[in-house]
Amino acid sequence: MLLILIKLLRQHGIHIPSVFSYSSTRMILAAMTCLIFTIFLGPFFIRKLYAMKIGQPVRNAKECPLLAELHGKKKNTPTMGGVLILVSMLISLFLWMDLSYAFTWIMLFTTLVLGMIGGIDDYFKLKLKNSKGIRGRYKMLFQTLLSLMIALYLLVPGFTDFVSEKTGVRAPAAKENTTSYIMKELDTKEYMSEVFVPFFKDAAVYLSGAWIYVMYFLIFFVITGSSNAVNLTDGLDGLASGCLIMVASVFGFIAFLSNNIEIASYLNILYIEGSAEIAIYLFSLVGACLGFLWYNGHPAQVFMGDTGSLALGGVIGVSAILLRKEVLLAIVGGIFVAEALSVIIQVLSYRYRGKKRVFLCAPLHHHFEYKGWPETKVVLRFWIVGLFLAILGIASLKFQ
């Protein structure tokens, strides 16, 4: 929206500094917009949630007696704070992102769909007596449909061709004794057919023929997996928000680098024209989560709920797909992976090992609470691990 306004003003002879059209400037302004928006509107929003009596449900004492005791005080803390995060991000999207790029609309579509699913889920839990929200099978169905639509958009020949002439150009190696690079242009399908592994400069797998259908599964797995993993992590004050800030910062930084052909060539990563728009949106997420953390830190005044966690996790997953960094997401988002795996392992163990449990309580953060760790210590240590993984993810760019 701002770029359109700048263009119109310049057409009428009004000078606007070029700095406002730079992607780096728009990244900073997007983060600042969301940060200021969430901090200043937070109190008003929280009061409204209290007035609507949208309190956080706590797991019952029969299922998890110790957890009910530890988190009993959180029962009336308002949830659905994710609405504040998503609204600030969408405002930032229309203000600072370039609406002519497909990346902008993919991010918008993902946010709206998953935010709506999470919002309905939260509403059912809070307003319908004894309701556990949308049934898991239906929630998975909606996430699958979203993944399928994104996969069709990216993979079906002729359905779309959002990759321009220069998008997808990759520099696999420098010519011997020169500073120039061997460039290779990729079309949309080729761009989506390569799977990269951190610390290796060349694509680890190139999918062709019938194997391209593996990419459909990978897109589904990454989007639904990251969305649900963030949702499972959102169980302690500030835990999900802090981890999201680190993961989004890494992928925002990578998206920014991928938009510069010289830097991308030097680092042996894909040059993706327009990927700066992904960076701008991810930095919006960082700013929004920082502002939300102002009120979500211990003791939390508001929780993001499924409205925020499902949407934000999905945005992270879609970003990894568009940047061709799905495997890197498993490393940088290791906290989310560990939380999701702990639930899967617990369920399988309980079902197939005679109701035996591997963890004292799942997800993983509750296991450490059961071991006697204070909530703040669990969150702080998870943040430290998340920061280490984020640094490792950035380091992978240089060591490949």
SS3 184: strand
pLDDT confidence of residue 12: 78
**Cα–Cα separations (whole angstroms), residue 50 to 57, 158, 307:** 14, 50, 17
SS3 174: strand
pLDDT single digits (tens) 278-302? 999 999 999 999 999 999 999 999 9
pLDDT confidence of residue 71: 72
Which pair of structure tokens corresponds to residue 166?
């220069």
Does 190 score more than 50 pLDDT?
Answer: yes
Residue 167's closest CA among 194, 152, 186? 186
Share of the chain above pLDDT 70, in %: 87
Tell me which of 366 and 185 has the higher pLDDT: 366
Mean pLDDT value of segment 329-355:
95
pLDDT confidence of residue 19: 82
- Measure CA 171 to chain center: 27
Share of the chain above pLDDT 90, in %: 59
Mean pLDDT value of segment 308-322:
96
Does 166 score more than 50 pLDDT?
Answer: no
Mean pLDDT value of segment 318-329:
95
**Cα–Cα separations (whole angstroms), residue 183 to 257, 327, 397:** 17, 24, 19
Band of the pLDDT at 381, cuts 50, 70, 90?
A: very high
Distance CA 122, CA 106 (A): 24
Mean pLDDT value of segment 92-108:
92
Distance CA 294, CA 131 (A): 30
pLDDT single digits (tens) 29-45? 999 999 999 999 999 99
* CA torsion angle 289 294 295 298 (round to 10): 100
DSSP 270-283: EE-TTTHHHHHHHH
HSE-up of residue 292 (Cα within 13 Å, Cβ side)? 35
Residue 124's closest CA among 138, 111, 112? 138
The mean-pLDDT minimum among 13-22, 247-256, 313-322, 365-374 falls in 13-22
Ranges of H-type helices in the chain: 2-11, 23-51, 65-70, 82-96, 102-127, 136-155, 188-193, 213-233, 239-258, 261-267, 276-296, 305-322, 326-332, 334-352, 364-370, 375-398
Task: Count the neighbouring beta carbons within 10 Å of the beta carbon of residue 254.
Answer: 30
Q: Would the pTM of this model clear 0.85, i.e. be above it?
A: yes
